[in-house]
Amino acid sequence: MLLGCRLQGDWLDLKIQKTDLRECVNMAVKNNSFFLIQKNFTLDIHMEGHKVYTDPSWLVYILDQLFSNAIKYATEQPCLIIRSEKTEDAVILSVEDHGEGILESDIRRVFEKGFTGSNHHNGKYKSTGMGLYMVSRVAEKLEHEIRIESEAGKYTKVLLVFRRYGGWQKD
Name residue 141's amino acid: K
Query: Which is it for strands 167-168 and 155-164: parallel, antiparallel or unpaired?
Result: parallel
Altogether, the residues listed in the chain come to a count of 171
- 162 assigned to some structural domain: yes
Task: Record the pTM.
Answer: 0.86
Segment 47-54 mean pLDDT: 93
- 62 assigned to some structural domain: yes
Neighbours of 34 (CB within 10 A): 10
- Strands (E) in the chain, as ranges, are 17-20, 42-46, 51-54, 79-86, 90-97, 145-151, 155-164, 167-168
- Smallest CA-to-CA distance from 84 within 166, 26, 137 is with 26
- 63 assigned to some structural domain: yes
Segment 150-167 mean pLDDT: 86
- As a whole number of angstroms, the distance between CA 4 and CA 33 comes to 26
The number of domains in the chain is: 1
Q: What are the C-alpha distances in Å from 117 to residues 77, 89, 128, 132, 148?
A: 23, 33, 10, 12, 14
- 71 assigned to some structural domain: yes
- 4 assigned to some structural domain: no
Structure confidence by residue, pLDDT tens digits, 96-123: 999 999 899 888 888 888 767 655 545 5
The CATH number of residue 56's host domain is 3.30.565.10
Segment 87-99 mean pLDDT: 95
- 1 assigned to some structural domain: no
- 12 assigned to some structural domain: no
168 or 69, which is more confident? 69
Its domain, for residue 63, covers 17-168
- 10 assigned to some structural domain: no
User: Under 8 Å CB-to-CB from 123, ≥6 apart: which residues?
Assistant: none
Q: Which residues pair with 38 in a beta bridge?
A: none
